[in-house]
Amino acid sequence: MAGQLEGKKIAFLVADGFEQIELTRPRQDIADAGAEVHLVSLKTGEVQGMDGDINKADTFKVDKTVDEVSASDYNALVLPGGTINPDGLRANDKAVSFVRDFFKQHKPVAAICHAPITLIEADVVDGRTLTSFPSIKTDLNNAGANWVDQEVVCDEGLVTSRTPDDLDAFCAKAIEEFAEGRHEEQTT
């Protein structure tokens, strides 16, 4: 795995209330694979992680805000979950545009747990097969997605998983897709 992502820049987009392990584990694995990783958020300063969506966990320093970046600055995007985080992201037009632009530029995106809520708002799930935390299955189906209950699903550069229990498969598949680069079938 080491060196697979040498020379690549990966954005991790979060708002307060993200599930901490869904940030820390992929970020570590992707950095270990050689990528430069940036924590992108809605505001400067720090963002609040959560443990099990209930207990406050650690805070993390924001590297860049959505006002300072564009999808063209990065090779790929990771969207950690948590129930509060994607709700904050989907309410921010710049965050939604940032996500949508990765699809317009055919770049790989990895989303876990409740993170596909942001993908729904970005209008990029219609006709795609993906998974998520089971409670948003209906939301995804109503947005035109084909929801499946699998550890990890990859649809033309879009990697999705259900819960932190799936992190081994999620991280491995994200790294594989990020190493491959652009996916011409990855569209909005």
Task: Report the C-alpha gap between 86 and 25 in whole angstroms.
Answer: 18
User: Amino acid letter at 106?
Assistant: H
Residues classed as catalytic: 113-114
Going by their DSSP bridges, the two strands 46-51 and 64-65 should be labelled as unpaired
Position 174 scores a pLDDT of 97
What are the structural domain ranges in the chain?
A: 9-180
What is the per-residue pLDDT across 84-111, written as a single tens digit (0 to 9) for each?
Answer: 999 999 999 999 999 999 999 999 999 9
Let me know: does 39 contact 12? Beta carbons within 8 Å. yes
pTM of full prediction above 0.75: yes
What is the per-residue pLDDT across 130-169, written as a single tens digit (0 to 9) for each?
Answer: 999 999 999 999 999 999 999 999 999 999 999 999 999 9
Kindly indicate whether the domain formed by 9-180 is annotated with CATH number 3.10.20.740: no
> Looking at the chain, how many residues does it have?
188
